Amino acid sequence: MTKRKPVSFDAMVKYFMHNYNIPTKRDIDHLNNRLDRLEKLIIASSSGNQRGTAKSREISPKNATETVLDLIKRGKNGIGIAEVREQTGYGDKKLRNIFFRLNKMKKITRVNRGRYTAVQT
């Protein structure tokens, strides 16, 4: 009978994550950065095709996250996801991701179920 070397818990977790293709925090952060870059590229390419005043382009936020954050800041008693969906036209999945990201960055807080308010800085 041969002696086996004990396996550390970290090594075991890495093994399962690798074999079952479970994304890590680093992978998710990388995807979020890529999504932000793609949103900026889409906005930059679409702004070149539109004709409008320079003033309107300066006022409009750069990406979807900033648009949602601006709407939340304007709401005095908080704003719900349904209200943001009506004003922006974004889908449910996109809004859930944006709200999750803003909450994780501690830029918004949850007032009650489905209502959020901006954190005062």
Domain boundaries, given as residue ranges, for the chain? 9-60, 61-121
Which one-letter DSSP state was computed for residue 79? E
Inter-CA distances, 97 with 35, 55, 90, Å? 11, 30, 11
Span 69-111, pLDDT tens digits: 999 998 888 888 899 999 989 999 999 999 999 989 999 988 8
Place of tokens 């409009």: 60
CATH number belonging to the domain at 61-121, selected among 3.30.465.10, 1.20.140.150, 1.10.10.10, 2.60.120.890? 1.10.10.10
Residue with tokens 């179920």: 113
Q: Rounded to 5 degrees, what angle do the CA atoms 27, 21, 25 make?
A: 25
pLDDT band (50, 70, 90) for residue 19: very high
Nearest Cα neighbor of 94 from 23, 48, 38 is 38
Query: What tokens were used for 25?
Result: 């925090």
When the pLDDT of each residue in the chain is averaged and rounded to a whole number, the result is 84
pTM above 0.85, yes or no: no
- Euclidean distance between CA atoms 84 and 28, whole angstroms: 25
- Quick one: which of 74, 67, 75 has its CA closest to 36? 67
The gap from C-alpha 47 to its chain's centroid, in whole angstroms, comes to 22
Whole-angstrom Cα distance, residue 121 to residue 108?
Answer: 11
